[in-house]
Structure 1
């Protein structure tokens, strides 16, 4: 059951927004996304990322040695990304506070000690739209800083079913995942964490 909203340096964290049945249903939908658009381990200029990822929607987020960008086709299959599942869209519509639906849904899979360094989500064309992030599976230590790099940060353990909304003054804050608590959830076969991130790219 959802508990009271938490303000983490301007990021809205909605603990337990998705109950167990909703989490399981969303996971099943994401498996279908991964069947149509297989997960990849991106290789950037700094080397391979520790997370694996895929996307749904009109545009998918792609990272390679040329940089970061949105593309309409899966880089390995050459096929369009599958539609964003209704279960995922329902969360966006419930918490985003905007009329437009997202045109990109990034699905990150964290296994085997994967983490995500501090970064900004700034590859989109209009920062007036929020970024909505859904956590499934193992707990993850989510760290939030400021719009400027460096300085003070604050952290919270995100649990399966939690949702975070980065909008307004917090739309461009630096944020990352320091570590994942292996075995803290039984939702995903073989363990691990899935993070679903929704964005309006335009």
Structure 2
């Protein structure tokens, strides 16, 4: 494992070995059985290119009513619990006194991307956001607190973990593209990104 500091983002490369990645994917399959992926739409009605679900006390959702956290899935069921592997990683890497209340699960298929954005729907920004990459490589772009500023990019590989705290907590970030088929972790290809955060 290597620890890099890029634009204020803490990047832990190869934090999860291949066995730990496979174990985590197995746990996520159980989550997805209980909370299936959906293709979300923005408030303007535009479908996003990623598929989403969540685990924890809250899930993050978007539809014509806006961006928000919700205690129930769109189908009315509670979200499954966050897998223990992720809670242990949070404790190891963030140093946060609070436990995460939401694990947002994004699936990137071929051609999927996520534009530059800030994580600003939480009640407080004192707590970090932890991001875990599984599957195909993703080109992660990092900016500053203002839209339109200088950005830097790095390819994240399966098993890499990024912690966004301090000055990076409200920095713009996104995924420009993935290298579809670059990993064998997911049999049909694609990238899973997990982001854990404190909501309340």
Query: Smaller-chain TM-score range?
Result: over 0.9
Structure 1: which 5+ residue stretches go unaligned?
none
Tell me the SS of whatever aligns to 2:33. helix
Give the distance between the partners of 2:167 and 2:41, measured in 1 at CA. Answer: 31
Superposition deviation, residue 100 in structure 1: 1.2
Tell me the SS of whatever aligns to 1:47. coil
4+ residue stretches of structure 1 with deviation over 6 A? none
Aligned residues: 199
Q: 1:28 aligns with which of 22, 26, 29?
A: 26
- Aligned twin of 1:63: 62
- Aligned twin of 1:180: 178
Give CA-to-partner distance per residue, 1:19-66, whole Å, 9 cap, x none. Answer: 000000000000000000000000111500000010000000001112
Give the distance between the partners of 2:195 and 2:184, measured in 1 at CA. Answer: 21
TM-score, reference length from structure 2: 0.98
Alignment of 1:1-202 (within 5 A): 2-3=1-2, 5-44=3-42, 45-76=44-75, 78-202=76-200
C-alpha RMSD of matched pairs (Å): 0.7
Give the distance between the partners of 1:80 and 1:46, measured in 2 at CA. Answer: 25
Structure 2: which 5+ residue stretches go unaligned?
none
Give CA-to-partner distance per residue, 1:82-122, whole Å, 9 cap, x none. Answer: 00000111111111111211000000000021000000000
